Amino acid sequence: MSEAKFHYTIPQMLSMLELFKKQVKDENIFYIGDLMMRNDFSAWKWASWKGRDEKVDSMMRDIEEMIETNLVLAVSKGQLKETFGIFTLKSKHKWIDRQQIEHDVKGSLEININGL
């Protein structure tokens, strides 16, 4: 099913984003898909708004940052599993896992260089 294109004016976009921002804050939303679903607003439409206006872009970044902060706070309070927070840090901020390997050699090491 293809979605019809909806054309919004910049003031309409800003008004909707202001409502989204309030909802993210008041309802402690920590997943943008949840925000989209609650408002019958598609991810396609969200993406299509980016780059259309500096104020719109700024407000969209603010909303995304608020959602990320809500997620990290929920993880730190034990309301969500740590996996959610780790996934966000890895995917959004390019964090990587690093193994901590201890190098401890006990005994002796013999190197034979006779065949060289």
| Residues 49-90 pLDDT 10s | 999 999 999 999 999 999 989 988 988 898 888 887 777 777
pLDDT at 50: 93
Give the C-alpha separation, 79 to 91, whole Å: 21
Would you give the end-to-end CA distance of the chain in angstroms? Answer: 71
Which 3 state secondary structure label does DSSP give 50?
coil
How do the domains of the chain map onto residue ranges?
10-93
Q: How many other C-beta atoms are found inside a 10 Å radius of the C-beta of residue 89?
A: 16
| Residues 34-54 pLDDT 10s | 999 999 999 999 999 999 999
DSSP 107: S
pLDDT range class, residue 95, cuts 50, 70, 90: low
| Residues 13-27 pLDDT 10s | 999 999 999 999 999
Whether the predicted pLDDT of 99 surpasses 80: no
- 30 near 80, Cβ under 8 Å? yes
Give the C-alpha separation, 97 to 79, whole Å: 23
- 91 near 83, Cβ under 8 Å? no
pLDDT at 55: 97
Name residue 102's amino acid: E
